A and B are shown apart, each in its own frame.
Chain A
Amino acid sequence: MATPIKRAFRTPLAFAALVMISIVALLAIFGPIIWGAQASEVNISNMLAPPSWEHWAGTDALGRDLFTRVLVATRLTVLLTLEATAIGVSGGILFGCGPFLLGPRFGKAVTWFIGIAVAFPGLLLALFFAIIFGAGASSAALALGLASAPSFARLCQTLVAGILARDYVGAAQISGSGRFRILIRHILPNIGEPLIVNATIGAGSVLLSFAGLSFLGLGVQAPAYDWGRLLMECLRSIYVHPIASVTPGVAVVLAGLAFNLTGESLAHALGITSLGDLGLRAKIRSLRHDPSITLDTDEPTQDAIVCVRDLHVGFPAGLDIVEPVRGVSFDIFAGEAVGLVGESGCGKSLTALAVAQLLEEPAQVWAHSLIFHGTELLDCGNDNKETTKARNHLLGTSMAMIFQDPMTSLNPTRRVGEQLAELGRVHGGLNHRQARLRAIERLGAVRITNPERRARQYPYEFSGGMRQRAMIGVGVMLTPKLIIADEPTTALDVIVQEQILDLLGAIRREDGAALLLISHDVSVVREVCSRILVMYAGRIIEELPSADLDQARHPYTRLLVAAVPNMTTDITQPLPTIPGRPPEPGPIVGCSFSPRCPLADDRCRSTDPDLITNGNTRVACWHAGQPLVQIAEVVE
């Protein structure tokens, strides 16, 4: 816990928050001791004096120095704030965790009650309790505390419910832990951080609300004073002395901000922190034109639908760039199905998104050439409105994308039919009616029954498999030359997967579209594609016809094929395994697979092998085709 907090206060804003909250704390402790007497010194001869060297903020209606009064009032203000916050948080924890301890029936009642209470603003609840308890400092603290309890209770409930859904709670239950033990050992430690963060932010708003109540005369009563009370007293003399009336207000805002910012900084630190750098773009531009980047390729192939040469994808990381895709070259010919396989994090999805021109900043894409359907897509430098428009039209009509998760890839607020028809109107030159009819026809073509009714429905009314069909329907709304499918069946069941793959095959045969199928599952790719590209650590390390997959020459490909059991795997032998993990994107010396490779020697570890073309295959390995020694199970 110490590290993220340390990290939190490294940003200037968080540092400022820390300084502010420390000042507030110091004033609260020492303010009344140092200035207590001075602040209550009445001087009738110097009433409502304007700011001067002696009285920085002037004096009040009894001639007392306003600035020291503001400093002294810090203690009462902070104490009351903490009191109210403590009441709110304890009430919140009690009602938020209570249902878990007391069982579902009582829990339901509490949840219902909290649900109604949180619908009302805290200020309204505070006024409600203020009527009951009357005006006064402690009753205002009680009122504000009770008023903030429901939102803390809701927060606790949400947090607890989140933890309860976790399997480790299930595991603890199975091993015989009681509810109380689970609460202490698993729930409280895991909700502590967000609770503290929210209590800090909550204290900020309690402080502001308390100032409001005191300002209205419902909080602290004379002769005691907090900032709100001072504000109220100053408002009476605002016509004589406008500056003085603002001084306590400044204190209120600064202290409120101090709590808020401290909480926000904590929240930020416990989440994600990363800041890009502005100098990077220049660096990437220079990389693009770096002649020393070697090309492993000949000239672009003429009759390919897609022709990629030395494609790179980079992301800024601190002052440097990491390159998850490091020089990828391949062709896809008309009507061909090509598979791209590899473990997660090898750069296959990024490659696909780069080809589809769907990567946005901060990702940077550069390549020797990236040609789709005869058009260079990375024509940086001579971009203008016309060419951009023409390129978008080309991509819109001729390239289709299908993504992994059909549950999130369709817009939940728009009818499925509209989502297809839109493409027909924007790029297909169809009018509303034509586009609608075409959309219905296409939904039928992707084997959705009753397409007319389905077109009017929203995605949430579709099952996962149907949504993926609808996504394919979007893809074939016009006549694509290339369909890029990124893990299109990973989220689906086996039988549905088979149907979707089948459908993709049929669509492809009808329209003559090429397919780039990205998958981690070798068996899926092998079934659908005629040619396979294997990626590892941002490079293509082997290319081969899928029929030859069992005779793969790269040890990674062979291990990848063997490590996944299929219906013909020898069940008497242990599965071959690939120890370790793929490398993180970053500088790599030697062959990127060498740390995990059973064949690795010194040359592999020092020099990266080139991707050598041999007929219709390519492979990048110093030991291509050598037999693998069976690797012993390695202790991780």
Chain B
Amino acid sequence: MTTEVLAPSRAVISNRWVRFAFRRLGRLIVSVWVVVTAAFAIIHLIPGDPVRAAMGMTVSPEIVEARRELLGLNLPLWEQYLRFWRGLFTGDLGTSIMTGLPVGDIIGYQLPATLSLALPAFLVAIGLAIPLGVTMAVITRNGRARRTELGFVGTSVVMGTIPDFIYGIIFIALFGVSLHWLPVAGRRGFTSYILPVVALAIAPILVLARIVRVEVLAVLRTDYVRTARAKRLANWQIYTKHALPNAITATLTLAGMLLATMCISTVFVENIFAWPGLGQTIVGAITSKDYPVAQAIILIYALAVIIINTVVDLVLAIIDPRSTVSEG
């Protein structure tokens, strides 16, 4: 308490924020534990013998047994579990049943490709959706510009519903096959990024912009914005200083979820644009029952989601100090 009186104002919040961050990291650890355990459990939840299912009925029992041995499936459960954890820390994620390659190598090669797709899409989505949503809210507040409102809501509902893989197919048909403007397969050069990134980002942009608009409109109706208007501040001051920080709070939670979904949606986009990333591999692994590979990739996705969620919460706590008080 005594330090609070003397310290500059910033310190008060950052102390609280650090305490919140510690609590939040505690939850992160629990989530990681749950996710790792779930990924570990996959192979034991599969009905029947996973190795036999993977290798087919024709393979001799000796080979199956050898592969079981290699995968460590004959060890006691707790030992397998410990090995799984140890593997995570040492980067030894086992070997692919199909190719015999180390899973760690497969991921090391493909994760950058997936990230190079997800991150730009991410930034484009956030960078466009928030200004678009705020602008639409300001233009259409209190029932102004009804036609613009109808147009925006209609467009965003329709275009926000279209899933990324259909955007992908349309883009290939239009820009690739018919117009020959842009490359439609593989990861070579800047132009090859354009179609997959746009296909990935377009629906989230519209959904997010719609949410931002609704949130900003809700905030514009609050008592404290009325207070700000009673102070006769200029409109831009009301929007930037009073409305936006409050609208962001509610928006960001949803945005985090949307971005996490976008991260997983790379699965579709990679398969359409023959992008050499995790998404192509996991689909192949699921259909060919290559469990170690599928396990590892799903774990990567889940960890990405956890990281996104944590970052969103930490950012929220800076913008809106109240969120540090709630259950955390």
* A interface list, Cβ under 8 A from B: 13, 116, 119-124, 127-128, 130-135, 204, 208-209, 211-212, 215-218, 231, 235, 238-239, 242-243, 245-246, 249, 252-253, 256-257, 260-261, 264, 276, 278, 356, 358, 360-362, 392-393, 395-396, 399-401, 403, 405, 408-415, 422-423, 426-427, 452-453, 456-458, 460, 471, 474
Contact = CB atoms under 8 A, between A and B. Distances in A.
Interface string B295-325: 1001001100110010000000001111001
Nearest to B229: A358
A81 B97 CA distance: 33
B268 A216 contact: yes
A457 B12 CA distance: 9
B268 A453 contact: no
Contacts of A249: 166, 169-170
B239 interface: no
Contact of B265 (A123, A204, A256, A453): A123
B45 A132 contact: yes
A324 B159 CA distance: 41
Nearest to B158: A257
Contacts of B237: 426
B177 A403 contact: no
B166 A245 contact: no
B325 A460 contact: yes
Nearest to A249: B166
Interface in B213-255: 222-224, 226-234, 237, 241-242, 245-246, 249
Contact of B287 (A135, A252, A458): A135
Contacts of A405: 223
A423 B232 CA distance: 9
Contact of A119 (B31, B233, B249): B31
Contacts of B246: 411-413
Contacts of B5: 452-453
B326 to A, nearest CB: 10
Interface stretch (B18-26, B61-69, B102-110, B141-149): B141-149
A436 to B, nearest CB: 10
Contacts, number: 200
B99 to A, nearest CB: 17
Nearest to B166: A249
A134 B50 CA distance: 11
B135 interface: no
Q: Identify which of A131, A204, A257, A412 gathers the most chain B CB atoms within 10 Å of its CB.
A: A131
B239 to A, nearest CB: 13
A410 B242 CA distance: 10
Interface stretch (B74-82, B112-120, B256-264): B256-264
Nearest to A235: B169
Nearest to A264: B157
A276 B301 contact: no
A413 B5 CA distance: 21
A124 B302 contact: yes
Given A134-B289, A409-B226, A453-B4, A218 B241 contact: no
Given A123-B265, A124-B264, A409-B224, A238 B172 contact: yes
Nearest to A123: B264
B223 A360 contact: no
B101 interface: no
Contacts of A401: 227, 230
16 contacts: A119-B305, A122-B261, A123-B261, A135-B287, A208-B161, A216-B268, A235-B169, A239-B177, A245-B173, A246-B173, A401-B230, A403-B227, A411-B242, A412-B320, A453-B5, A456-B12
Contact of B232 (A211, A245, A395, A474): A395
A356 B232 CA distance: 10
Given A127-B282, A217-B283, A132 B46 contact: yes
Given A409-B223, A426-B231, A460 B173 contact: no
A121 B305 contact: yes
Contact of B319 (A128, A413, A456, A460): A413
